[in-house]
Amino acid sequence: MRGHLIKIYIFAIILGCIAPVSAQVKQKNFHLKYETHHNSNFTYADSLYKKLAGKKKISALFLSVGGGLSIPLSTFKDNSNVTFGILGRLEFASSSIFPFVIGVEVDYFSYNGSDEFKTQNLLNTFKTKILSFGLNVEYSLVKIINSSFTMPFLTVDVKNNLITREYDSGRVFDDLPLEESRVSIGAGLGMTLFVFDFYLKYNFMGNLSNIGVYTKMKFPIIRF
């Protein structure tokens, strides 16, 4: 029975992206029951449920797009302000690897220099741009936490970060090169609400560490 419930959660994620969600589905928290044979609104859902009950694998690729608020930490906050950025992710979800969801993510954030830092260093311009790409893995907590309408998850990632800085020509900062590359490690906690993900994540990257609040929406590409 527990195995069926886990598979039903996987079906809920995919169904939420490829079919309209009715109010009745929301009220039942995606728990499809045998009685749906008598409800024409669930003909498609019931056919998939019977496949799940027969241990048929369901897999899908999703494109997620969104953005977030990034807050500089440590010495990073001494020279840069809070900023908004964008992100995109290609995700693979399958009943065969549940509760894991694997993704490849790209994001971009541009931080303006703080007024205090520019004043102290007599700068007219200071900006830090970070383009990141890497591997992301999410772990659903539905086996541990029973939550109506939402599915909590843990998220971790490893990324390569291409960093470029802009400041007045002729100036040199030994600890702030114009270009550099760094590896970052991120970890956080979030929740899925139908096709939306909301999560909080700490990104460790030395003196460029930051904490972010993100949201993204999933679009189905292919189901197989």
Q: Is residue 158 part of a domain?
A: yes
Identify whether the C-beta of residue 127 lies closer than 8 Å to the C-beta of residue 109: no
Q: Is residue 49 part of a domain?
A: no
Cα distance between residue 204 and residue 10, in whole Å: 31
Q: Is residue 4 part of a domain?
A: no
Q: Is residue 19 part of a domain?
A: no
Give CA angle at 105 (90, 182), nearest 5°: 160
Q: Is residue 31 part of a domain?
A: no
79: domain CATH number is 2.40.160.20
Cα distance between residue 70 and residue 128, in whole Å: 13
Cα distance between residue 31 and residue 50, in whole Å: 13
- Domain count along the chain: 1
Domain range for 137 is 60-223
Q: Is residue 10 part of a domain?
A: no
Average pLDDT, 10 consecutive residues per value, the chain (224 residues) = 44 44 38 41 43 68 97 95 97 93 97 96 96 97 78 96 95 93 98 93 97 96 92
Instruction: Report the predicted TM-score, pTM, of the whole model to 2 decimal places.
Output: 0.75
